[in-house]
Amino acid sequence: QKEVEQNSGPLSVPEGAIASLNCTYSDRGSQSFFWYRQYSGKSPELIMSIYSNGDKEDGRFTAQLNKASQYVSLLIRDSQPSDSATYLCAESNAGGTSYGKLTFGQGTILTVHP
């Protein structure tokens, strides 16, 4: 049974700070990793994907992947109140069959307070 574990929340940071979200996974065959953001009562939306070891930056977001340690993280710089949401880590090892077949973590609730 594949598992994706996220750091327990909720996480509260002040506006302008760096929010750090962490995730570990159990399946060494996992190839693709994703961070989805979900506002309360809404559907998830993809904010970052990462496939190779190292860092990937997109605006205020940086995803980090370490396959040897089976660890994925998301850093949010200059956090804004609008970043307050649940962040879901997900992985896929579906290869060429179905990349939409994801295993999700339980989510971390982030609150950014002014």
Partner 1 sequence: NAGVTQTPKFQVLKTGQSMTLQCAQDMNHNSMYWYRQDPGMGLRLIYYSASEGTTDKGEVPNGYNVSRLNKREFSLRLESAAPSQTSVYFCATYPRRGWTNEKLFFGSGTQLSVL
Burial category of 109 from C-beta neighbours within 10 Å (exposed 0-12, middle 13-18, buried 19 and up): middle
Binding of partner 1 by 77 (CB under 8 A)? no
Amino acid at 86: T
Closer residue to partner 1 (CB): 17 or 32: 32
Binding of partner 1 by 113 (CB under 8 A)? no
Residue entry with tokens 């307070």: 113
Binding of partner 1 by 46 (CB under 8 A)? yes
Contact track, partner 1, 49-68, x by CB under 8 A: x-x-----------------
